[in-house]
Structure 1
Amino acid sequence: MSKFKGGDMIVALTNLPHYEVTNKKIKLKRAFPGDKEEILNFVHENFQANWTYEVEQSLMQSPGKCFIATEEGKLLGFACYDASAKGFFGPIGVLTSERGKNIGTLLLLRTLESMREYGYGYAIIGWVSEAEQFYRKTVSAEYIKNGEPENSIYSNLIFMK
């Protein structure tokens, strides 16, 4: 039995649900590298500090593999892919004050759509624990057999040794 909660999930990208931004004040777009400092500060201040490095990795790829949601110039959330490893979705984060407004769903679907456009058939959602039901409900994700952190790419982390 794993001493770490959760594991990797997988989602097929061939049949993603349709999405539409209904709140016209919310802008969903690929992050611009010139906004790197603001985005990294946002991630560091509001989410797990170690996500900052993964977000930076996704921002600096060409094309960038990070999407952001804004409202009137204010960052509300982000989602990335190919940050930890090729074919991996995440991290994703939405401000606590903005949750329940469909922003996480929009970011998830737009990012997975980009992965599909990039040529991926499946996405791995890395080290899922609390968000399991969100991924199951939104994109029919399922846990990968033996996908616990100590059996995945996360086994390379220093603290996993």
Structure 2
Amino acid sequence: MPDMLVRLYALPESRAGRLGPDISIRRAMAPERRTVVCWVGEHFGAGWAGEAEAAFSSTPTRIHIALHQGALVGFACHDVTALGFFGPTGVDGTMRGRGIGEALLIESLIAMRAAGYAYAIIGGAGPTEFYTRTVGAVEIPDSTPGIYADLLRPDNGAEPEPRE
């Protein structure tokens, strides 16, 4: 999967307010670390849980979460695998199609812009059409396998989890 480049100075406006009264997007807080990391691991695997954990190593945290009636239903990280990188991100399968992933993406990218970045890289972008449509991301030529090429694999020889 290719890496993609996003112009942060040309982002659409936030979508978080359009999700309805029962869904909210916000940065996770340090006391939520165990809850969030366990949820990410349960829903998306150990690799992404590791990246989510790394997102709690700074203040403010580098992870946004989506809540549906107070329950965790999605997350998006930035600046965890490498500075300037967005991801990983994921939404609970039962909540997809409601705009939550789009809102998480845009909120994370807005946070990166506020931190001083002009561009962001989406590493190993899975749904490239989604990123192009939502934030105008473009594929970076010759970027596969990119930074994840030498990723330590589990002892069982399984491939690493796909990036979303």
Question: TM-score, normalized by length of structure 1?
Answer: 0.90
Name the structure 2 match of 1:16: 11
Q: Structure 2 residue aligned with 1:65, among 62, 65, 85?
A: 62
> Residue 147 of structure 2 aligns with which residue?
153
Query: What is the root-mean-square deviation of aligned Cα atoms in Å?
Result: 1.3
Alignment-mate amino acid for residue 121 of structure 1 = A
Q: How does 1:21-40 map to 2 (within 5 A)?
A: 21-22=17-18, 23-40=20-37
1:126 aligns with 2:120: no
Aligned length: 152
2:41 partner SS: helix
Q: What stretches of structure 1 of length at least 5 have no aligned partner?
A: 1-5
Partner of 2:104: 107
Q: 1:144 aligns with which of 137, 140, 145?
A: 140
Q: Shift of the alpha carbon at 1:49?
A: 2.3
User: How far off its partner does 1:59 sit?
Assistant: 1.5
Distance 2:37 2:152 in 1: 22
**SS in structure 1 opposite 2:13?**
coil
TM-score, structure 2 length as denominator? 0.88
User: For the residues of structure 1 that align with 2:151 and 2:128, how far apart are their CA atoms?
Assistant: 22
Amino acid at match of 2:66: A
Bigger shift: residues 15-24 or 49-58: 15-24
Misfit runs of 4+, over 2 Å: none
Partner of 1:3: none
User: Percent identity over the alignment?
Assistant: 39
Alignment of 1:86-105 (within 5 A): 86-105=83-102
Partners of 2:101 and 2:113 lie apart in 1 by 18
Q: Secondary structure at the match of 1:64?
A: coil
Q: Distance in 2 between matches of 1:60 and 1:27?
A: 23
